[in-house]
């Protein structure tokens, strides 16, 4: 079946630093990937839609300059949290759109900003 990986699975960083999270579709090509954020005991909130070779489309209220998204190939999208602060601590999940418009989800990345 379609597999999506994320790296790292968890990361701790100091306030003010930048963190990059990778999302890879391992056995299929994905022209579209999605980035979500999940707070404890809350739903997944879509942050942005990432399209290969073009700029990402951000949801209302999501800061483009803070959450940089790059989708440079059909199997890789990256999310960079710039100048991270404690309020950015969260669980970040990506998904990749595969065959029949099905979304396949990665296992998530836990970010803790000290």
Instruction: Note the residues at the interface with other proteins (CB under 8 A).
Output: 4, 6, 32, 34, 41-44, 46, 49, 93, 95, 97, 101-108
What tokens appear for 1 in the block?
A: 């079946």
CA atoms of 42 and 21, how far apart (whole Å): 21
CB 107 within 8 A of CB 96: no
CB of 12 to other proteins, least distance (A): 18
CB of 50 to other proteins, least distance (A): 12
Nearer to other proteins, 14 or 100 (CB): 100
CB of 84 to other proteins, least distance (A): 23
Nearer to other proteins, 3 or 72 (CB): 3
CB 92 within 8 A of CB 35: yes
């Amino acid at each position: 079946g379609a597999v999506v990986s994320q790296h790292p699975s968890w990361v701790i960083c100091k306030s003010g630093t930048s963190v990059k999270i990778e999302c890879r579709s391992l056995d299929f090509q994905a022209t579209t990937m999605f980035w979500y954020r999940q707070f404890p005991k809350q739903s997944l909130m879509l942050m942005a839609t990432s399209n290969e070779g073009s700029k990402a489309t951000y949801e209302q209220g999501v800061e483009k300059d803070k959450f940089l998204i790059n989708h440079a190939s059909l199997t890789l999208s990256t999310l960079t949290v710039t100048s991270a602060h404690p309020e950015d601590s969260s669980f970040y999940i990506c998904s990749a759109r595969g065959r029949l418009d099905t979304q396949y989800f990665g296992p998530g990345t836990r970010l803790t900003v000290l």
